[in-house]
Amino acid sequence: MERGFRLILAASLMLMLLDLCRGSTIGVCYGRNADDLPTPDKAAQLVQQHNIKYVRIYDSNIQVFKAFANTGIELMIGIPNSDLLPFAQFQSNADSWLKNNILPYYPSTKITYITVGAEATEVNSTSLVVPAMQNVFTALRKAGLHKKIKVSTTHSLGVLSRSFPPSAGAFNSSFASFLKPLLIFLAENKSPFMVDIYPYYAFRDSPNNVSLDYALFESSSEVIDPNTGLLYTNMFDAQIDALYFALAALNFRTIKIMVTETGWPSKGSPKETAATPDNAQTYNTNLIRHVINDTGTPAKPGEELDVYIFSLFNENRKPGLDSERNWGLFYPDKTSVYNLDFSGRGSVDVITGANITNTNGTTWCIASSNASDRVLQSALDWACGPGNVDCSPIQPSQPCYEPDTLVSHASFAFNSFYQQNGASDVACSFGGLGVRVDKNPSYDKCLYMTTGSNKTLSTNATAIPTTSHSLAGKVHTSKSSWTFMISFLLFLAIDSIRGW
């Protein structure tokens, strides 16, 4: 019986580790504030044609539910601010809504998130959000769906009183009575903190303080956080880390962040000179690659981050400046505003719109700094085991021994295995412990291997890589890589059992 228990435990650990390797995802917001859009079924076809797997809508429209039924596309649905009052007042209203509007279409329509209100701090409806969220959660729990459909609400970056430097990130104290119960709810139910992030507005409103390249992920220089020494090459990461530091300051370190809106307009008013198709294409192309690479942020390297691009279509009924009506990836006739590679495997020529691949791109594999010492030690032992990689450079008095830390030694070993096995995705998995990066981690005389050689490039580890780095050519997974993954997970599972 003990042997059977151990086998079950090992299998469970393997499944858990495989789930950890899911990786970051890219979705698209499907707003419908327009009078010239295609029907929902045509929109669903367009989404499928471009292999988009995650879609956010802002209501619980039945026609949209029907259009996305049996497509496998995961839907984030919403309860608008205008509907919050009845949800907050009575549990029965949430129960009826779920019974009549959701359950008839679930699970053929794959609903995974419900946003209760949107940017409530901007419209002064904060008092209704958490009670409404609690009632929706209770309704889901009654239906046995509270672990399959997560409940949260979205925020603008205005929820922060400080965002620079990122380490000084802090929530606006005037929202304390709203945020405390909200964050408790999110932490208890493992729901993400959802935020809408727009570097475009930061540049537009303060061009003297924010460079266009920094907003577009194109910066060739770095912004240093004076408190942490962390280096930032783009505004997106800086804003995300400001939120992580703000959460940590309130002792909510386990809450994940999800970006529910971000993007760049392709057209604007005369004074909105940065709202161009080229800039929109550059931002979204670099964003997708940044997310799909599981790059993480300087404060959270390798941290998964799910992101939704705003928006699927241009919406001609949105008020405000011209840019407000031109965030779409597609025109209402379903033609592209500009070409965009949703896979993140190639860059896009912003002049011709043609997909091109950078054949000079190089990636390395390092160890996640978030891993526990015990699990990381097991992974290092396996990587340096018989028939795997040469770990002599991380032995005492050798060039890669210092710094004498588990993360540093594991990073060297992980990268050696990664490069020797074709630099495939699987070869850097290590049960979710490996993180692919596009900056050379070599330092001093410690040189990290690159694919196809036993030497590394002689570039400085702090050099900024070209932004046309691509994952093309790395999607093929060899048989040996899968053998590695299975054997490593078995090793880690068995080692964990021995530790009991």
For strands 347-348 and 355-356, give the pairing: antiparallel
SS3 307: strand
**Catalytic residue, candidates 119, 303, 304, 315:** 119
| Listed residue (119, 42, 47) closest to 84, CA to CA | 119
Helix (H) or strand (E) holding 354: none
Taking the C-alpha atoms of residue 461 and residue 109, their distance in angstroms, rounded to an integer, is 47
Compute the half-sphere exposure of residue 440: CA atoms within 13 Å on the CB side of its CA.
24
Taking the C-alpha atoms of residue 301 and residue 295, their distance in angstroms, rounded to an integer, is 6
Handedness of CA 244, 247, 251, 253 (dihedral sign): negative
Q: DSSP letter string over 388-440? A: S---GGGSTTSTT--S--HHHHHHHHHHHHHHHTTT-TGGGTGGGTEEEESS-
**Catalytic residue, candidates 222, 261, 324, 402:** 261
Strand partners, 118: 154
Catalytic (active site) residue 261: yes
The residue type at 428? C
CB-based contact 71:50 (threshold 8 Å): no
Beta strands in 34-73 (DSSP E): 54-56
C-alpha distances in Å from residue 416, one per residue of 293, 371, 453: 19, 19, 10
Q: Is the peptide bond before 399 cis (omega within 30 degrees of 0)?
A: no
CB-based contact 60:77 (threshold 8 Å): yes
| Listed residue (238, 329, 290, 442) closest to 30, CA to CA | 329
SS3 78: strand
Catalytic (active site) residue 119: yes
Q: Which residues are catalytic?
A: 119, 261
